[in-house]
C-alpha cells in the first residue's frame, strides 16, 4: 500500500460497495483536471476487545475492496495515478482527517434520510458536515438516471463564502460539460424576485466562463427546499458549508416506492 501525505490528492472512501466504486469513478475527472493522484482509502477501527483473527480478516477485506476499486478505475483507461491505503479509525473520522490535507474528499451514499443517516449514510453525513475541504457526496445509482448534460445546481447568495461555491460550481460545469442552474436563495417578499441582484452576483463568473449556459432560478425557501421539489434533472448540487446540515435531505432516502430522482449528489464547499 502507498502512504502519501501530500495536500494534493483527491481522496475517496472505499468500503467494498458499488456506491463507493461509482464515487471513485466520478472522482477520476477531478484528479485528471487537477493533474494529481486519486487516493483510495479504507478505514479499519482497531478494538482491543476484538476476537483474535478479526483484525487480519478486516485487513484482508480492506485489501480486496481497494484492489477491486483500483481495478475498476484502471479499466476506465484514463490517465490517472491511483494510490491505495488502509488507514486506522472510523470511516467518517478518517475521511475528515484526510480532508485537512486534500483537494477534495469523495464518498458514495445510498441515501441519507432520517433512517439511513443512522445506518448506511452516517459516514456521508458526517463528512458533509465535518470536512475541511470540498466534500462530494455521490448518490448511488445516479449515473444511469441523470444524463451528463443535466444541471449543475449552484447556490447564489451574499454569504462571505459564496464566491468559493460559485467557483467550484462553474468549474464542475466546465469539467462535466453541463449547464448551471443558479439558485438565488435570498429571502424576499411575495412578487419580489431579485433577478437583477442575482445577475449582478453572476456577472463576473459568466464573463469568465462564457462557454457555460447559466439559467437563474428563484429558490425562495432555500436550496434544499428547491431541490426537493424541482423536476429539473440535476446531476450535482454545489452548496456552501452553511447548508451542510441539510445535505441528508438533498441526497435523500432510497426506497423501492420512491422515484430515483428523489435526491441529488452534493458538493459541499466549506467557508
DSSP 98-162: HGGG-SEEEEEES--STTGGGTTTHHHHHHHHH-SS-EEEEETTGGGTS-TTSEEEEEE-S-TTH
| pLDDT of amino acid 136 | 97
Give pLDDT, residue 134: 97
Cell triple for 251 = 441526497
For the stretch 34-88, pLDDT in tens is: 999 999 999 998 766 667 566 788 899 999 999 999 999 999 999 999 999 999 9
CA distance 260 to 40: 27
Where are the domain boundaries for CATH 3.40.50.620 in the chain? 9-138
**Cβ atoms of residues 38 and 28 within 8 Å:** yes
Determine whether domain 9-138 maps to CATH 3.40.50.300. Answer: no
CB neighbours of residue 99 within 10 Å = 20
Would you state the pLDDT for residue 238?
A: 98
Q: Supply 109's cell numbers.
A: 451514499
Rounded Cα distance between 197 and 84, Å, is 46
The sign one gets for the Cα dihedral 94, 96, 97, 100 is: positive
| The three three-digit cell numbers of residue 202, written as one number | 453572476
This prediction has a pTM of: 0.88
What sign results for the dihedral spanned by CA atoms 182, 183, 187, 190? positive
Q: How far, in Å, are 23, 62, 111 from residue 118 at the CA level?
A: 20, 23, 11
Torsion on CA atoms 242, 248, 249, 251, rounded to nearest 10: 110
Tens digit of each residue's pLDDT (9 = 90 or more) over 161-194: 999 999 999 999 999 999 999 999 876 554 455 6
* Cβ count near 76 (within 10 Å): 11
What is the CATH topology of the domain spanning 151-269? Rossmann fold (3.40.50)
Rounded distance, CA 208 to CA 224, Å?
A: 27
pLDDT (tens digit per residue) in 96-147: 999 999 999 999 986 554 443 443 357 888 999 999 999 999 987 544 467 7
Does an H or E element contain 28, and which?
Answer: helix 18-34
The C-alpha cell 445546481 sits at 153
Could you tell me where in the chain the CATH 3.40.50.12370 domains are found? Answer: 151-269
Torsion angles phi and psi, residue 82, rounded to 5: -115, 125
Q: CB atoms < 10 A from the CB of 217, how many?
A: 18
Amino acid at each position: 500500500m502507498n502512504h502519501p501525505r501530500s495536500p494534493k490528492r483527491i481522496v475517496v472512501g472505499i468500503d467494498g460497495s458499488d456506491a463507493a466504486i461509482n464515487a471513485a469513478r466520478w472522482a477520476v475527472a477531478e484528479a485528471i483536471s487537477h493533474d494529481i493522484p486519486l487516493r483510495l482509502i479504507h478505514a479499519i477501527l482497531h478494538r482491543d476487545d476484538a476476537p483474535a483473527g478479526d483484525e487480519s480478516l478486516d485487513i484482508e477485506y480492506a485489501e480486496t475492496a481497494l484492489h477491486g476499486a483500483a481495478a475498476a478505475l484502471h479499466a476506465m483507461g484514463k490517465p490517472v495515478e491511483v494510490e491505495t491505503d488502509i488507514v486506522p479509525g472510523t470511516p467518517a473520522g478518517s475521511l475528515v482527517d484526510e480532508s485537512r490535507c486534500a483537494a477534495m474528499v469523495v464518498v458514495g451514499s445510498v441515501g441519507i434520510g432520517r433512517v439511513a443517516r443512522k445506518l448506511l449514510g452516517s459516514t456521508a453525513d458526517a463528512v458533509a458536515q465535518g470536512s475541511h475541504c470540498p466534500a462530494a457526496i455521490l448518490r448511488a445509482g445516479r449515473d444511469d438516471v441523470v444524463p451528463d448534460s443535466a444541471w449543475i445546481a449552484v447556490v447564489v447568495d451574499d454569504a462571505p463564502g459564496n464566491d468559493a461555491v460559485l467557483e467550484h460550481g462553474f468549474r464542475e460545469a466546465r469539467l462535466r460539460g453541463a449547464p448551471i442552474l443558479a439558485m438565488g436563495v435570498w429571502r424576499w417578499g411575495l412578487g419580489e424576485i431579485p433577478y437583477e441582484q442575482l445577475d449582478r452576483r453572476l456577472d463576473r463568473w459568466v464573463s469568465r466562463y462564457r462557454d457555460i449556459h447559466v439559467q437563474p432560478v428563484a429558490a425562495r425557501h432555500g436550496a434544499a427546499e428547491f431541490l426537493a421539489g424541482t423536476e429539473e434533472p440535476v446531476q450535482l448540487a454545489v452548496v456552501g458549508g452553511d447548508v451542510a446540515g441539510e445535505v441528508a435531505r438533498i441526497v435523500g432516502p432510497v426506497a423501492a416506492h420512491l422515484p430515483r430522482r428523489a435526491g441529488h449528489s452534493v458538493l459541499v464547499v466549506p467557508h
